[in-house]
Amino acid sequence: AAGVIQSPRHLIKEKRETATLKCYPIPRHDTVYWYQQGPGQDPQFLISFYEKMQSDKGSIPDRFSAQQFSDYHSELNMSSLELGDSALYFCASSTRPAGDTQYFGPGTRLTVL
Amino acid sequence: SQQGEEDPQALSIQEGENATMNCSYKTSINNLQWYRQNSGRGLVHLILIRSNEREKHSGRLRVTLDTSKKSSSLLITASRAADTASYFCATDGAGANSKLTFGKGITLSVRP
């Protein structure tokens, strides 16, 4: 079965650079979520989209922005990167209604030097 | 804010034994989901239990939910070395929002 696809899988950036992470949800899933997991931490919700509209926002820094496109893929844009942004970034997808299983992608490991 | 909190934080057992992990949360939920994560890898969905369910089974997994105590347990029977991983519970808050709130995770080590 098709799973959530994330690219790139690994990314190394310098401080103050920008990064773009991409997420391709499972076919026919219209809801996308982004989570950040720091080293040894639990995943923290960043932002979600339903039918290309932002549906909820968590602890996402103002330096980050995201959107969902007409084909339902999503991109997380991160600017002015800081050392503390080094983490695993997960995308998950689900179908509506609310309360359905969220299927996670393999994650993008971002390292900021 | 609601948060799933697991206990114990770490568990070490012998292959073939059962492993029980507990999770507590603070507010009303739509459902509670358990995930497994191998070191630094992706989150694998194990099982979802809805707020109106009390128990659910999937293969060697058994999950219970007690909404009056705001707690859940995950039982893995006849554990295998391949079950070695971190396990997270995640709650989906009541209402329209579907964001998951994760607990701290339990590290399970299964000795061959």
Compute CA distances B5 → A48, B17, B29, B68, B103, whole Å: 23, 23, 14, 16, 4
pLDDT of residue B1: 34
Question: What integer pLDDT is reported at residue B27 of this predicted model?
Answer: 86
Residues of chain A below pLDDT 50? none
Question: What are the strands, taking DSSP E only, across B38-111?
Answer: 43-50, 55-58, 61-66, 71-76, 85-93, 100-102, 106-111
Q: What pLDDT is attached to residue B73?
A: 96
The b/e string for A25-34 (b: 16+ C-beta within 10 A; e otherwise) is bbeebebbbb
Position A35: which residue type?
Answer: Y
Show residues of chain B in contact with A5, CB under 8 Å.
none
Nearest to B99 among A45, A88, A90 (CB): A45
Question: Mean pLDDT score of chain A, rounded to an integer?
Answer: 93
Q: How many CB pairs under 8 A join A and B?
A: 64
Distance from CA of A64 to the nearest CA of B (A): 18
Note the pLDDT of residue B9. 87
Looking at residue B97, its pLDDT comes to 64
Quote the tokens at residue A74.
């999503």
Strands annotated E in chain A: 5-7, 10-13, 19-24, 31-37, 44-50, 53-57, 64-68, 74-78, 87-94, 103-104, 108-112
Q: CA A103, CA B80: separation in Å to the nearest integer?
A: 24
**Residuewise pLDDT in 10s, chain B (112 residues):** 335 666 778 999 999 999 999 999 998 888 999 999 998 789 999 999 999 999 999 999 999 999 999 999 999 999 999 999 999 999 987 666 678 999 889 999 999 9
